[in-house]
């Protein structure tokens, strides 16, 4: 299928230095939908996946702070809530942008579950940053009083809470969405799928699926979606224009068009940080090795040119 999967970063949906209000989320989304509409106008299938780190962290905090009055919901339920709120935002903001470029497509949000292994070692080693950035002083208090595990993000100058992030194994709603695209509806609908990498669930012995307390990496989850749907392009949209080697050091160098082998080499040498750029590159490598044709990492202002092969860090196999 000539379609494209665009994976929007949680930080492309909500500015890290921002206030975190809903109005701000709408403003960010309005700045994003124009280029998505342009891609749809080219006639190809467009599927949207998205992150939820900032959003699920906010819900976790709201639930903790409100727990004296209303019982807190488990993390898988909060994951479903973030898919709902972000899907709703795309459903609200994308159609007017589609109409402006004369495209008649409807947005369809699919609450998505992703299977993970119950014995994934990630459950004992939280690596996924969620919620907002905290100062040194705030972090000290939260670690002590709430028992949070936190990590300092040097590039963005703040502390963030970490939660377990098991590896995605299977996207449970994948077969249904694939049938939708195969029946030709891919050019009539814009599916919004696998938000936050999908709600993490484990398969019990009786065959039932049960949610777990974790947040899947959205890039690895999105890669599974792109492979499951057989799309030919996978675009990871984040808050930097691409991937760099020697990131944050004086010798820093931003990567443009690279070969699969070059990207594999940089990844193997540990150029891309765990929990942020690392999973994006890994997600792309998985996609390309499984038959994907084009992979790009870029930001919203460069997305159209990156898809055209003129910007971003990119690999094309053809
Ligand atoms: P998203 O919400 O889009 O998934 P992440 O915070 O997970 O965003 O990943 C993007 C961040 O990765 C960038 O803002 C940057 O600080 C960080 N990063 C780590 N290593 C690199 C690298 N080698 N090149 C570029 N950015 C990097
Ligand atoms: Mg991320």
Consecutive 10-residue averages of pLDDT for the chain (318 residues): 88 72 92 94 95 94 95 97 97 97 95 98 94 93 94 88 96 96 86 97 97 97 97 96 96 98 98 92 98 97 95 95
Q: Where in the chain is the domain with CATH 3.40.1160.10?
A: 1-119+169-231
Second-level CATH architecture of 1-119+169-231: 3-Layer(aba) Sandwich (3.40)
Predicted confidence at residue 11, as pLDDT, reads 59
Among 220, 271, 276, name the best residue to mutate to test ligand 1's pocket (greatest count of ligand atoms within 8 A of Cβ).
276
Do 90 and 192 form a contact (C-beta atoms < 8 A)? yes
- Give the pair of three-digit tokens for residue 52: 């939820």
Predicted confidence at residue 118, as pLDDT, reads 97
- Residues annotated as catalytic are 10-11, 128, 218, 280
Among 8, 48, 238, 246, name the best residue to mutate to test ligand 1's pocket (greatest count of ligand atoms within 8 A of Cβ).
238
Ligand 1 atom with the shortest distance to the CA of 279: 7
* Predicted model pTM: 0.95
Predicted confidence at residue 16, as pLDDT, reads 63
Ligand approaching nearest to the C-alpha of 300: 1
> Using the 8-state DSSP alphabet, how is residue 257 labeled?
B
Q: How far is the CA of 47 from the centre of ligand 1 (A)?
A: 22
Q: 137-163: b or e for each residue (b if 16 or more CB lie within 10 Å)?
A: eebeebeeeeebebeebeeeebbbbbb
Pseudo-torsion of CA 19, 93, 226, 60, nearest 10°?
Answer: 30
Ligand 1 atom with the shortest distance to the CA of 12: 3
Residues with CB under 6 A from ligand 1: 9-12, 51, 53, 155-156, 238-240, 243-244, 247, 271-273, 276-277
Count the helices and strands in the chain (H runs, E runs): 10, 16
Predicted confidence at residue 68, as pLDDT, reads 95
Beta carbons within 8 Å of 81's beta carbon, 6+ residues apart: 59, 73
Q: How far is the CA of 301 from the centre of ligand 2 (A)?
A: 18
Q: How far is the CA of 118 from the centre of ligand 2 (A)?
A: 22
Beta carbons within 8 Å of 155's beta carbon, 6+ residues apart: 247, 248
Ligand 1 atom with the shortest distance to the CA of 13: 2
CA angle 163, 114, 51 (to 5 degrees): 55
Q: How far is the CA of 196 from the centre of ligand 2 (A)?
A: 9
Predicted confidence at residue 154, as pLDDT, reads 81
Nearest CA to ligand 1 atom 27: 277
């Amino acid at each position: 299928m000539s379609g494209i999967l665009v994976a929007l970063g949680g930080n492309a949906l909500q500015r890290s230095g921002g206030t975190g209000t809903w109005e701000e989320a709408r403003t960010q989304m309005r700045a994003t939908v124009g280029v998505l509409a342009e891609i749809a106008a080219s006639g190809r299938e467009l599927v949207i996946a998205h992150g939820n780190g900032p959003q699920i962290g906010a819900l976790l905090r709201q639930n903790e702070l409100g727990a004296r009055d209303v019982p807190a919901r488990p993390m898988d339920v909060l994951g479903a809530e973030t898919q709902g709120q972000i899907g709703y935002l795309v459903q609200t903001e994308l159609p007017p942008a589609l109409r402006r470029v004369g495209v008649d497509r409807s947005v369809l949000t699919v609450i998505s579950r992703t299977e993970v292994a119950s014995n994934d070692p990630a459950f004992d080693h939280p690596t996924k940053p969620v919620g907002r950035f905290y100062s040194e002083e705030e972090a000290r208090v939260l670690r002590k009083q709430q028992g949070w595990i936190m990590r300092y993000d040097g590039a963005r100058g703040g502390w963030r809470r970490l939660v377990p992030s098991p590896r995605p194994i299977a996207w449970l709603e994948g077969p249904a969405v694939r049938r939708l695209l195969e029946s030709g509806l891919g050019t009539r609908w814009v599916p919004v799928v696998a938000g936050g990498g999908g709600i993490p669930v484990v398969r019990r012995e009786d065959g039932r699926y049960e949610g777990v307390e974790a947040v899947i990496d959205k890039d690895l989850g999105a890669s599974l979606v792109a492979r499951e749907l057989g799309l030919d392009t996978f675009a990871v949209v984040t808050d930097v224009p691409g991937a760099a080697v020697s990131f944050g050091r004086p010798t820093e160098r931003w990567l443009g068009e690279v070969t699969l082998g070059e990207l594999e080499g940089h990844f193997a040498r540990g150029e891309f940080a765990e929990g942020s750029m690392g999973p994006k590159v890994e997600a792309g490598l998985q996609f390309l090795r499984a038959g994907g044709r084009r992979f790009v990492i870029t930001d919203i202002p460069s997305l159209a040119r990156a898809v055209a092969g003129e910007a971003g860090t990119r690999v094309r196999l053809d």
